[in-house]
């Protein structure tokens, strides 16, 4: 089972020039949340869209993650691209991303809107029932799934 999994980036917050809400981050982030698919993903590849919402921490600071993606999607794998942001306090880090998915996991790369990058992994949460996911993929499709995300900047991400 694979899904369009969208991700984020790292963390120690530094004020950006001009004070317009942009930031630069260095560090790691961990998030847990929900990925919603439209249309629901099945075992047959098809074009689709996904939205990910997650909460967690970036280098110890509370953070929120939001992303939207599109691509050729199936429960078995695929590719997707999109955009999103991480919010840490009042700072918003915008990014573009690309991902390559396999069953239940995705390798992710983020490119900051103002430079830098991050890389990591998104995966189906261990709280999910793999049998139920397989049944949905073989039948009407999987509309949503809980996900976990781990990302590290390489070496920083600016948005």
Q: How many alpha carbons lie under 13 Å from residue 71 in its C-beta half-sphere? A: 24
Domains, the chain, in order of start with CATH, read 14-158 (2.40.350)
pLDDT-based confidence at 22, cuts 50/70/90?
low
Amino acid 30: pLDDT: 98
The Cα-based distances of 66 to 36, 103, 131 in angstroms read 12, 22, 28
Q: What is the pLDDT of residues 94-153, one digit of tens each?
A: 999 898 999 999 998 999 999 999 999 999 999 999 999 999 999 999 999 999 999 999
- DSSP letters spanning 91-121: EEEEEEEEEEEETTEEEEEEEETTSEEEEEE
pLDDT of residue 97: 87
The pLDDT score that the predictor gives to residue 23 is 84
Indicate the pTM of the whole model: 0.84
Tens of pLDDT, residue by residue over 10-21, are 334 443 333 445
Q: What is the token pair recorded at 151?
A: 């990302």
Per the prediction, the chain carries an average pLDDT of 86
CA distance 5 to 70: 10
- Is residue 68 within 8 A of residue 6, CB to CB? The reply is yes
**Nearest-CA neighbor of 37 among 145, 148, 154, 151?**
145
């Amino acid at each position: 089972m694979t899904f369009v999994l969208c991700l984020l980036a790292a963390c120690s917050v530094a004020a950006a020039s001009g004070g317009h809400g942009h930031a630069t981050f260095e560090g790691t982030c961990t998030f847990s949340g929900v990925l919603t698919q439209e249309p629901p993903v099945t075992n047959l590849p098809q074009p689709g869209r996904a939205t990910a919402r997650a909460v967690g921490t970036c280098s110890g600071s509370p953070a929120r993650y939001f992303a939207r993606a599109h691509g050729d999607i199936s429960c078995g794998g695929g590719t997707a691209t999109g955009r999103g942001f991480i919010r840490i306090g009042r700072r918003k880090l915008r990014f573009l991303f690309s991902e390559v998915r396999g069953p239940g996991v995705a390798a992710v790369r983020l490119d900051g809107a103002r430079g830098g990058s991050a890389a990591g992994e998104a995966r189906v949460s261990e709280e999910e029932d793999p049998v139920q996911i397989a049944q949905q993929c073989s039948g009407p499709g999987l509309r949503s799934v809980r996900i976990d995300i781990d990302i590290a900047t390489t070496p920083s991400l600016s948005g």
